[in-house]
Structure 1
Amino acid sequence: MAWLTRFVTAVTFLSIGVVFSPETFGSNSDGQQSPKLSVLIKLAHLLCFSTAWGAALWVTFIGGIIMFKNLPRHQFGNLQSKMFPAYFSMVGVCCAVSVASFGYLHPWKSSSVSERYQLSFLVSAFAFNLSNLLIFTPMTIGMMKERHKIERDENIGEEIGWSKNREAAKANPKLAAMNKKFGMIHGLSSLANIFSFGSLAMHSWYLAGKLNL
């Protein structure tokens, strides 16, 4: 039930923030009534974008590296095979909400050039993430499991960090061929993830320019 406690806590703090926001007490900075729907859509955009950005940053540059350096390689791969579908699903939903909310707030016909660029960045992040979720990740997981079977026959895969795979592949053509296929698909998956992260990074710069701290 720990996840439920965390969820309730997060919702509670969010509710407190809504209750004590200036919009709740009736007026914004120019003395006019703030449109509640617009504020809610902006909140949805901010929360979903920040969730996608934070998750991408952690998984791409921090969490994966820590696990790689501290887990046996097959255990690391099996954990990634469970984590990546959930990661890409969550980021995909967040990107979809960000696209929808930003598109609603900035209709294409009346939006500026910079706003159209930002919508394009968000759509790109969603598309790259979706390609990983539906295409590259399932292929990568399938090939990884096949490679694990071959590696177990070679008594490798339980080492931590750098693999003994390359040495074993020199004497095992089947493993060498699998390595080549796995490397290509895994490379495309990593590239799509980096492009998605980069698109989100471009939007973070735009949002930073809009903040009035």
Structure 2
Amino acid sequence: MVTEGEPGSLVKVVYILLLSATWGMQCWVTFVAGFVMIRGVPRHTFGLVQSKLFPFYGHIVMCFSFLNLVVYAVYHPRELLSPSESVQVALFFTSLVASALNARWFSPSTSKAMFSIHAIEREHGLGAEIGLSANIEGYKRLREQDPKYKALRKTFMRYHGISSLCNLVSLLCNGASLVFTALLLPTL
């Protein structure tokens, strides 16, 4: 479907609002919220809060990435794309794929492993301390003594790492899209 003409003012405003809201939310969640919480609440509380917030966060990023891709694609038909507009479409698509994988698979898998870890930690009196550096020896001993805990922790770290990578890829794509949008503002 080729759309003729320039997008209307409302479309431009919605597009900019979605893109900037997504990027701003990603920056806040990635660089502020987690670091503040891990230093201020017990570890298990931090994990519980993250497990409740991340599904909403992931799905909002996924939906906004989809809407940005659709709005951009409608007003930039494939047959008429310039090289910079092609990059913009690729950035939106990459952000959508990364955020969808994160929202639908990696984030839930991370939470599932985390809750299993928390159950074992509670049995050993761990998880109520505040901050990452508190009671490091207790966690180290538990890893050495309990092979199930060690395996769950390895699974958690793998999923958490992939989830973080997906989040970072999506954040960078949306940041680059904001740069392209600013540089190509008249052609939005």
Match of 1:113 in 2: 83
Other structure's SS at 2:8 match? helix
- Aligned partners of 2:140 and 2:82: how far apart in 1? 52
The CA RMSD measured in Å over matched residues stands at 1.6
Moved over 3 A (4+): none
Match of 2:29 in 1: 59
Q: What is the count of residue pairs matched by the alignment?
A: 178
Any conservation in 2 of the 1:45–1:101 contact (CA below 8 Å)?
yes
Any conservation in 2 of the 1:44–1:97 contact (CA below 8 Å)?
no
Q: Which amino acid aligns with 1:180?
A: K
- Aligned partners of 2:9 and 2:78: how far apart in 1? 20
Deviation at 1:37, TM superposition (A): 5.3
Which one of 40, 63, 85 corresponds to residue 70 of structure 1?
40
Deviation at 1:77, TM superposition (A): 0.1
1:187 matches 2:157: no
Match of 1:210 in 2: 184
Return the structure number with greater relative CO, CA threshold 8 A, min gap 6.
Answer: 2
Other structure's SS at 1:70 match? coil
1:143 matches 2:113: yes
Query: In the TM superposition, what whole-angstrom CA distance separates every residue of 1:99-119 from its partner, at most 9, and x where no partner exists?
Result: 011111111111101101101
Q: Which amino acid aligns with 2:51?
A: S
1:129 matches 2:88: no
Which one of 175, 181, 184 corresponds to residue 201 of structure 1?
175
Any conservation in 2 of the 1:125–1:196 contact (CA below 8 Å)?
yes
Larger radius of gyration: 1
1:166 matches 2:166: no
Deviation at 1:166, TM superposition (A): 2.7
Other structure's SS at 1:159 match? coil
Any conservation in 1 of the 2:7–2:75 contact (CA below 8 Å)?
no
Other structure's SS at 1:94 match? helix
Any conservation in 1 of the 2:98–2:169 contact (CA below 8 Å)?
yes
Match of 1:153 in 2: 123
Q: Given the two structures, how large is their TM-score scaled by the length of structure 2?
A: 0.90
Match of 1:88 in 2: 58
Any conservation in 2 of the 1:38–1:105 contact (CA below 8 Å)?
no
Match of 1:101 in 2: 71
Deviation at 1:168, TM superposition (A): 2.1
Q: Given the two structures, how large is their TM-score scaled by the length of structure 1?
A: 0.79
